[in-house]
Amino acid sequence: MIVRFAGLGLGAATLTTVAAASGNTNADVLPPSLDVSSFMAEPVTPRSTLIKDKDDMKVKMEMLIMKIQTDFCRALENEEDPSKKFIVDRWTRAEGGGGVTCVIQNGKTFEKAGVNVSVVHGILPVDAVRQMKARGKELIGKELPFFAAGISSVIHPSNPHVPTVHFNYRYFEVTQENGEKMWWFGGGTDLTPYYLVEEDVRHFHSTLKKACDLHDAGYYPKFKKWCDEYFLVSHRNESRGVGGIFFDDFEMHSQEDSFKFVKSCAESVIPSYVPLVKQHRNDPFTSAERDWQLLRRGRYVEFNLVYDRGTKFGLYTPGARIESILMSLPVYAKWEYMHSPSDGTPEAKLTEILRNPKEWI
């Protein structure tokens, strides 16, 4: 069985939303430190607010993720057919905030590449509060004002020898009933190959480790272990991929130091992943290797729909934009009854690693 995840409607509002966003007055001209001219679209937050609150972490995070989105999209476009560019869909949310979703679909190099920025605020619904409390957050109140800004990306390549990558970096604020404001960061980057090239995996992990080591030598081993545990498809008893780093509820130092760590991690995505695309995008492959890629994507879908925190939070949020939440799903995926790779094959080698995660560096 092959399932096609169409992801329709992602670009319908592109021209109107971006054009409407450009109607800024002279009073809203941004200083050089807040230059947005190269971004994929106008930021979600009005320019007047960006200027007034330029030192606020909410603004700093929005500017960071808009820049990361642009840098990553341009890097991917450089690996794609020149005629294939990202569709840019700038959207708004009636309950507060909005986002910028960028998607390439059915390209030569990327079957589906999505890079989504969301900057939303409003009242945290009861289900989301309950989910956070289950993670140990001591939140006072039932429906609480919140702010969330994040970037999330999943890249599904056309060639089975190019791995899928996912990254997500986010900032969260909640104001409790007593007026106390809580904040934290979360995120990570992880790799899901269809065929195991150990040199590629070592490069990926080494690049993430360098970013972590700039701040604390203990971060990489801690967050690598957390990644292996988080991306477990427990009903299959296997990992989604070969890991990377993952962290949540990060507030270990000052807000500024925490932000700098997240910035280093986000900036490590391009050097960790794009060289793998360059190396393998033109590798020859067989129809059997394509079938295996589709089967592995099915497992990817299972994790994202059953376990992923970001998906659950998005679906619990009033006014959620479903197209952007489910952007992570591939265009095509496949399930076969009781499929198991033959012993001694490259597919069996990958499966063994997914069932028994290892240290790569």
**Which active-site residues does the annotation give?**
166
Q: Report which of 111, 110, 112 is spatially closest to residue 79, judged by C-alpha positions.
A: 110
Q: SS3 of 18, please? A: helix
How far is residue 169 from each of residues 90, 111, 172, 272, 289, measured CA to CA in Å? Answer: 19, 23, 10, 16, 32
Q: SS3 of 153, please? A: strand
How far is residue 141 from each of residues 177, 269, 285, measured CA to CA in Å? Answer: 6, 37, 55
How far is residue 322 from each of residues 90, 311, 339, measured CA to CA in Å? Answer: 14, 9, 31
CA distance 291 to 75: 28
DSSP lists the bridge partners of residue 91 as 99
The secondary structure element, H or E, covering residue 133 is: helix 126-134
Spatial neighbors of 207 by CB under 8 A, at least 6 apart, are 268, 271, 272
The secondary structure element, H or E, covering residue 146 is: strand 144-157
CA distance 85 to 104: 7
